[in-house]
Amino acid sequence: MWVKSEQTMNESKNQSSGFPRRAVLKGTATVGLGFFALAYCLLNSAEATETTDPIFDTKEIRDESTLEIKTLQDWHVDEVTGSTRQKLIEINVAQWWPGQDYRIPVRMIVPLKAKAKGFHLTGANSYQELMEDTRISEFQGKLLEGGVGIVKTHVKAFRQIPGKRGLEQKMGRQFLEELNPRYTTIWIWSMTLMRATTAAYADRDHFEIGKVVGSGSSKNGISPAVALINDERFTATCSNHAFAYGSPTRRNERAEIEKVKAASKAFFEAVRAGDVELEAQRARWYQSVMVGSNRNMDAIALRAGKSMDKLNEMRSRFWPSVCVTENWDKLIKRGVDVLFQPGTNDYVAYDILWGAQNYPQLPVYYEPNGGHSQTPHGAAAKDNQNVEAFLWNHFFGGDSLLKPPTSSYEVDQDKLSVRVRFDEGPQPTSGRIWWIYDRAPAGSAPFLHVQIPENQWMDMEHDAQTGTWTATLPLKSGYSRIDFFSNHGQVTNGYKQYLSSPYTRVELGPFRQ
């Protein structure tokens, strides 16, 4: 009997810790956490209820008079290639709290002899890079040739911005004093992109209203997604290593959190017993970023004398303003485009199973073993051009992108047969499947640590008559469940695009012998 992916909704009652006993598991990581991790924990600290009170104010976002623009370099032909016009300004993103302005540089790039209609917006630019004329890439040149502008700003950790060292601590104190979601990194980083948009459109001699697309990874993947929700001038986001779903774990439902804590506890007990080899630096990283970590905002706020009722009240305002799937119907009505590219082992985008079960219509590309400070699987695509394919299609149309497929499976003794179909849109030209056994609960330390083995993948077969991609996976004994997903590619408008089938969990019953 073939079973649809989205029907496998429940965790196995035989929940294991999700890591192999007596295994040797190694790894290192160097990550700057700061208040990004703290703000991330804000999303995992208490159940939120639906509210209509957003945390962003449209009037504040679009008020040109409060930008207080300072021109650092007026419009000029760039000195690098002589092929664009560029301008560098500094803007006031907001008076974050009384007496605290947040000023950020913005570089604007337009075609040499025409206005730009809309633009591609990024925040992953160093401060020094913004101070110098941009040498545009080949793809950026094509955007400009098509009349699309480029706007670059600075969405980075505060310590990387001149004059803002120590601002994290001030923000934290302000947040704990007021429990106002305005005083979080997610708010100020997203506001930076929205205010940069206001600054560009304020220059009517060089920009006219068009499509606005944000893209990037981590904080620069989360920020454009939040901007897309709260600013209707944004028309698309391509977000890597960024959350999209309001899963039960992310909403801190007690039963799910207990599973996560139990798995992490068992994992670190195995480390102490010598059953798992884990470097101290990476162990500290897991303990900082895993769900239920000691950086949990609840614990910090409660120690500061705040009540759980106040935390819940704050969360009810925060959550609907930052999660794409919480706003799915509204966004679809607006006609926006979205693409999320989480890794399979990421502390930010950990709820990939729940998301696939509940929002299979969200276009997703899973990077096998990818994530913050992770090493992708050896068989992962090396020619991924998803960002370029996405941007080209959104701005210029042309060839269609792949649409989210459906998948089904059948268990027959020691084999798992998988079928994937693309019922809408173009058909891919390649298919590859990965699988992993007995994964730990999403967001736990072993969930981050235990990767898809290098030998657990295969190329899929394609039936041209039915349009079906198939694979038969040999099932190992001794496991109670298996997770799988497939990645499929095509060339669209000259760029290699990949899209994934829904991440699926199959319950195999009590430990198979």
Region of 279 (left: φ > 0; alpha: ψ -120 to 50; beta: rest) is beta
- Sketch the domain layout of the chain as residue ranges: 3-51+243-507, 58-230
The band of 12, judged by pLDDT with boundaries at 50, 70 and 90, is very low
pTM, entire model:
0.90
Q: How far is CA 246 from the centre of its chain?
A: 13
- Given a cut of 80, whether residue 166 has pLDDT beyond it is yes
Mean pLDDT of 283-303: 80
Q: Which of 76-85, 114-123, 246-255, 343-352 has the lowest mean pLDDT?
A: 246-255
- How remote is the C-alpha of 38 from its chain's centroid? 16
pLDDT at 27 over 60: no
> Measured in Å, how far apart are the chain's first and last C-alpha atoms?
22
Provide mean pLDDT across the span 417-442. Answer: 97
Res 380 pLDDT > 60: yes
Residue 42 is predicted with a pLDDT of: 52
Mean predicted lDDT score pLDDT of the chain: 89
User: What pLDDT does 318 receive?
Assistant: 82
For the segment 203-240, what is each residue's pLDDT rounded down to a tens digit?
999 999 999 999 999 999 999 999 999 999 999 999 99
Closest CA to 252 of 307, 293, 224: 293
Ranked by mean pLDDT, which of 51-60, 285-294, 351-360, 502-511 comes out on top? 351-360
Per-residue pLDDT band at 299 (split at 50, 70, 90):
low
Residues 6+ apart with CB under 8 A from 111: 84, 85, 144, 145, 147, 149
What one-character-per-residue DSSP string does 153-180 give?
-B---GGGSTT-TTHHHHHHHHHHHH--
Cβ–Cβ < 8 Å for 200, 106:
yes
Backbone angles phi, psi at 476, to 5 degrees: -80, 150
Distances (CA, A) of 503 to 9, 94, 103, 354, 471: 12, 40, 41, 9, 15
Report pLDDT for 510: 64
Half-sphere exposure at residue 373, Cβ-oriented, CA atoms within 13 angstroms: 17
Burial class, 196, CB count within 10 angstroms (exposed 0-12 / middle 13-18 / buried 19+)? buried
Which tokens is 361 given? Answer: 């219509």
Q: Is the pLDDT of residue 34 over 50?
A: no
Q: Is residue 32 predicted with pLDDT exceeding 70?
A: no
Closest by alpha carbon to 443, among 256, 294, 312, 220? 256
Task: Note the pLDDT tens digit of each residue in 457-475.
Answer: 999 999 988 999 999 999 9
Asked if residue 439 has pLDDT above 70, the reply is yes
Q: Is the pLDDT of residue 15 over 50?
A: no
